[in-house]
Amino acid sequence: MYDNWEELEQSIVNCQKCKLCQNRNHIVFGIGNKNADIMLIGEGPGADEDKQGIPFVGKAGQLMNKAFEALGIDRGSVYIANIVKCRPPANRVPEADEAEACLNYLRNQVILVKPKIIVLLGSTALKNILGKEYGITSARGKWIERKGILYMPTWHPAALLRDETKKIEFWKDLKLVIEKYHSFS
């Protein structure tokens, strides 16, 4: 584990721990406030993210930004990362060995950020962070506390693009996050 961002970011520059490195354009490490109280964790980069090296800049990210804006969340005030740092082919779900190869990077990001709240965006984030026994449909919208961090599982923004009925639940979940965050102040 690394004690600072520079060493952590340097450690991943030439990562070849899994086969996802073979076709990447950019490693999509993370972005935002490195001292944020709220951290969001998604699944992995898509095509737009791979091109730009920034998480959540494609259609799903734009939808998430609209929700942030409507709820008064400044995207720069949160920290955003993913389970895997390289794009899986055809945006498929990361395989277990790929997720495992990246998890120490993500754990180190969490240690450095020290968030009070982590929003788990979708099933892949939920299962890799809290355990395979969790399902996103039953866990979403419910607070889960582990080691002093509050977790809020919710839909991945990409799921909202496929099923618009999930937008309301996503909105409600983010609203709960903001309310909880304000209760700390």
pLDDT reading at 81 higher than 80: yes
pLDDT of 157 > 80? The answer is: yes
User: Residue 145: is it exposed, middle or buried by C-beta count within 10 angstroms (0-12/13-18/19+)?
Assistant: exposed
Query: Which domains are present in the chain?
Result: 17-184 (3.40.470.10)
pLDDT digits (tens, 9 = 90+) for 95-153: 999 999 999 999 999 999 999 999 999 999 999 999 999 999 999 999 999 999 999 99
Its pTM stands at 0.97
Q: How far apart are CA 52 and CA 116, in angstroms?
A: 28
> Which tokens sit at 103?
């998890």
Side-chain half-sphere exposure of 46, counting CA atoms within 13 A:
12
Q: What is the pLDDT of residue 14?
A: 94
pLDDT > 90? residue 185: no
Report d(CA 15, CA 25) in Å as an integer: 13
The pLDDT assigned to 1 comes to 87
Label each residue of the chain as H, E or C. Answer: CCCCHHHHHHHHCCCCCCHHHHHCCCCCCCEECCCCCEEEEECCCCHHHHHHCCCCCCHHHHHHHHHHHHHCCCHHHCEEEECCCCCCHHHCCCCHHHHHHHHHHHHHHHHHHCCCEEEEECHHHHHHHHCCCCCHHHHCCCCEEECCEEEEEECCHHHHHHCCCHHHHHHHHHHHHHHHHHHHC
* pLDDT tens figures, 22-63: 999 999 999 999 999 999 999 999 999 999 999 999 999 999
Stretch 149-158: mean pLDDT: 98
Identify which of 91, 83, 66 has the alpha carbon closest to the alpha carbon of residue 28: 83
